[in-house]
Amino acid sequence: MVNMDSYRELKGFCSTQGCILIAVSKLKKEEDIMTLYNEGHRDFGENYVQEFLGKYEALPRDINWHYIGHLQRNKVKMLTGKTHLIHGVDSEKLLIEIDKEAGKAALVTRVLLQLHLSGEESKFGMDERELYEVMNKITSGTFPHVKVCGLMGMASFSSDQEVLTKEFSFLKSQFDLYRSDEFKFMSAGMSGDYELATRLGSNMIRIGSSLFGSRQ
Ligand SMILES: *Cc1c(COP(=O)(O)O)cnc(C)c1O
């Protein structure tokens, strides 16, 4: 089931704020994706490789698939050429693998680097130092088959506005350091915190439960 009121509200929000709405369809039926597709929506987010591959094969080719889950290196090959954007690139090793597989397929894979934001909620993401080192290699041309389009972050699973503000602001300050015509997306904000995230600089929000209902 898709909440169409919520979809319209989020579309309106994104058009006034100038952000991209990613409909996070993990664990949801293809039918639900098609409901939004038929409204003209094209950006969908998935977290699990096997589930994504099934949907990729079954659904229209002009969908922009955002891979937003944690990606293991041994699964990169399966995604190559199928994603619009991979959000959670959380290590140099993973970036090397994505570059290698894209090279073999003679294409360029678009990615976001994931910055570690929360204290203990998620162990994934680079710290400031790692990001700096990886960005240096990127600007010196070490990864010719990836295009790094910005940063992604996941804030703590908390309703404490102060904590969330601190985390999103940190992401924004790092984003601003590297911002360019190509490095232009800050992917942050989910159903519970997207308004705060966009107020603090996010221009790409990933919304699941508000659109498709809760997941069990
Ligand atoms: C599941 C998920 C979302 C969507 O979360 P909701 O709270 O359902 O909106 C966003 N980003 C990532 C990385 C996710 O795994």
- 117 Cα to the center of ligand 1, angstroms: 15
Per-residue tokens: 119? 């204290």
- 132 Cα to the center of ligand 1, angstroms: 26
Give the angle subtended at the CA of 45 by the CAs of 47 and 188, to the nearest 5°: 95
- Of 87-91, 119-123, 174-178, which gets the smallest average pLDDT? 119-123
Of 170, 133, 137, nearest in space to 151 by CA: 170
pLDDT of residue 118: 81
What proportion of the chain, given as a percentage, has pLDDT over 90?
Answer: 94
Q: State which of 20, 44, 68, 113 you would mutate to test the pocket of ligand 1, scoring each by most atoms of that ligand within 8 A of its C-beta.
A: 68
The overall average pLDDT reported for the chain is: 96
pLDDT band at 133 (very low <50, low <70, confident <90, very high): very high
- 81 Cα to the center of ligand 1, angstroms: 23
Give helix 30-37 / helix 49-58 axis angle, nearest 10°: 50
Task: Please give the model's pTM, rounded to 2 decimal places.
Answer: 0.97
CB 22 within 8 A of CB 194: no
Of 5, 11, 18, nearest in space to 199 by CA: 18
Closest approach atom of ligand 1 to CA 192: 7
47 C-beta closer than 6 A to ligand 1:
yes
